Structure formats: structure tokens, C-alpha cells
Amino acid sequence: MTKMELDSQSSPFPKPIVLLGSIVEGRPNFFTVAWFNRMSRTPNIWGACVGKARYTLKGIKENKVFSVNFPGAALVVKTDFCGIRSGKNVDKSKLFDLFYGEFEAAPMIRDCPVTAECVLHDLVDVSSHYLVLGEVKHLYSEEKYMTNGELDQKKMDLLIFTKPASQYWTLGEVVADAYSIGSSLDQID
Amino acid sequence: MTKMELDSQSSPFPKPIVLLGSIVEGRPNFFTVAWFNRMSRTPNIWGACVGKARYTLKGIKENKVFSVNFPGAALVVKTDFCGIRSGKNVDKSKLFDLFYGEFEAAPMIRDCPVTAECVLHDLVDVSSHYLVLGEVKHLYSEEKYMTNGELDQKKMDLLIFTKPASQYWTLGEVVADAYSIGSSLDQID
């Protein structure tokens, strides 16, 4: 067979990129996370994996709320900065134009096409990382990212992260519609 | 402000697509999951969210191992089929050319550019779904998906899922290199 074994410590698949927002030691802070996804349908729970020593965890634990901000390609420099520099050492509170919804401790980034306010649901210990589970309470966007009243991925132009080459990408082209194309394989008895 | 509130039950961001493989009631079965990501660095733990009533869970719980298969665009029809039809009702064991590594109960799909064998690490109850945590024991690919000995995302052409329009996409273009471009914002004292 032509299959070969690779380094089992890697994870070579595309990942969404988010900026987790919280208030830490009195000021807004943002941390870039690619190990993120939805975790439950009802309620709508999202999970972000954060290294146990991260500055961001302090704010999330204290306030029990946080924001999730989805950056587009235009924010790639600031997004990378928030991943490689810790709020312990640099002040990220002036990096973005911020807005707030229901929660004072969930600062949101105005220039992100989609943002959410989450209430901490649970912290799960997963070896080297905590899985921060948050229930989505409010979701925000703008008309300019929509087509016919619905969010349009091409207009949002959200960042996606890959390995082994550490790169940010955007979406390319639609391959097919989901929940439909597969039915062509149904067998006719 | 121009921000508007959207349905807080949605999750409008790009997600990786995987086919979870297991042996259920004696035969290979595959289930499509988009709520998937890495969860820990050391050990390398991946997590997949699976609805509690899913057929696939039965095999994973019994065997304590499973496979993760990353389909490329060429497999979009079969990938969608595995998401919309349950192994309770259809036999998916002949849908793909399979291969095996260390574990008999972790069938892998030969035509997927990357596949992995995982050992069940934990099952976390997250409301409507279980988070299936698996430690990656072996990772497989082929030379044809590589450039200079490293996996090449363009050659793998992995599927990505989006909402609110339920669509499969592939990656577009590289926006920037990660862990580097952000350093341009470092302040010079």
C-alpha cells in the first residue's frame, strides 16, 4: 500500500480562527484560538481549547462570560498578534474598536463580521488544555455581510488556520450543497 | 451602531469535515461530523461532537477505538451520504475502499488524504451531544498529497462545512503566514 505513517503529534486539517475576548485585570484582552467548534445543539454551546497557563483563562474564570469574535482576512495581522503576544506583557485593549452587548465583561470587536456573547457553561480538563464551553446568548453581525438577509461566507471572508504549514486562508469555492447531494446514493429497491 | 442581533442558536463559521469510522454490529460504519477539532497538545487529543442517539457511538463505546478520516472534494457525495443516512438503516461498509493499521475496529478510508487511528480518551456529556475525545495513535497519508515531504493543503483539498447556507467548500488562498506577520505590531520602545 502507498500509505505512510506521519508524526502522530500533528493535526493537519483546516480550523476556524476566533479571538476570545474577556476583561482581565480590568482591561479588555483578546486571545487567538484555532481549536474551536460547536459542541452542542440545545443549548447552543461552543468550545474553545486554551492552554492552562493562558492569561485569558483568568478573565473567563472570574467573569463567567466571554466573547467570541470571528475575524475576516482584513484583520489577519492583529489576529496573529493576539496569538503570539500574551496580555501578560502587552496591552491589547486599544488594538480594536470595541462594542458591548448584554455583558460588561464580554468585549466584542466591531470589525469582526460575526461576534457572540457567551456565558461560561463548563471548563473541561483535557490534559494540556482546558476546553472552555460557553453557551451562546447573543450573536451579532451587520447587513453588509449578508445576502438576502442571510450571512454570506464570501462577504464575511473569515480566517481559517492550517498546519503543517502555519498559514491563514480564506474559503475558496463551494463544492456542493450539504444535506442533499448525498441522497443520490440512495438505493432504489 | 450598525450591529444587528442574529439567531443565537446558529453557528455561522467554517468547520472541518471528518468521517468517524468504527465497527458497529460487526461491520464498518462511517458518520460525518463537522463539530470537530483538536483538544489537547500533549497528548494529541481530538474531539468530535456526536448526537447522543447516533449509531456510531455504539461502536466507539464498545471498541474504545475509532478512526478519523478527512475527505477531500472528490469524496463530497459519499461524505454527505454518511451524514444524512444512518448506519441503522443502510450498510455503509461497502461505500469505501478500506485499510487498517494497528486496530481492527478502526476502519480507514483509503481515498481520504489523511486518516488517523484514535484510542477513546473520554466521553464528555455536553448537553445534546457527547464530545468524543480520542488520542491520536497513528496518522496516515500518501506521498501524492505532499510537497517537499510535508502535507500540502492544496493537494489534500479537504472539505470544509459552512452555515447558514449548508455547503461544502475547499480552501481558497493563503492570506498570510501565522506566528510571524503579527510581530509587525510590536512596539519599539
Architecture of domain B15-183: Roll (2.30)
pLDDT tens digits for range B57-73: 999 999 999 999 999 99
pLDDT tens digits for range B77-133: 999 999 999 999 999 999 999 999 999 999 999 999 999 999 999 999 998 899 999
Note the pLDDT of residue A188: 56
Query: 461524505: which residue's cell?
Result: B79
Distance from CA of A33 to the nearest CA of B (A): 11
A124/A39 Cα distance (integer angstroms): 12
B127/A136 Cα distance (integer angstroms): 13
B141-166: b or e for each residue (b if 16 or more CB lie within 10 Å)? bbeebbeeeebbbeebbbbbbbbbee
Nearest to A77 among B83, B95, B181 (CB): B181
Query: 457567551: which residue's cell?
Result: A118
- Which grid cell is B50? 456526536
Distance from CA of B54 to the nearest CA of A (A): 14
Mean local confidence (pLDDT), B153-174: 97
- Angstrom CA distances, B32 to A43, B12, B24, B69, B133, stand at 21, 18, 15, 9, 16
Contact B154, A154 (CB under 8 A): no
CATH number assigned to the domain covering A15-185? 2.30.110.10
Please tell me the pTM assigned to this model. 0.96
pLDDT tens digits for range A81-111: 999 999 999 999 999 999 999 999 999 999 9
Question: A128: closest CA among B83, B45, B165?
Answer: B45
Distance from CA of B129 to the nearest CA of A (A): 5
B94 to chain A, any CB pair closer than 8 A? The answer is no
B119/B122 Cα distance (integer angstroms): 9
B109 to chain A, any CB pair closer than 8 A? The answer is no
Question: A22: closest CA among A137, A140, A107, A82?
Answer: A107
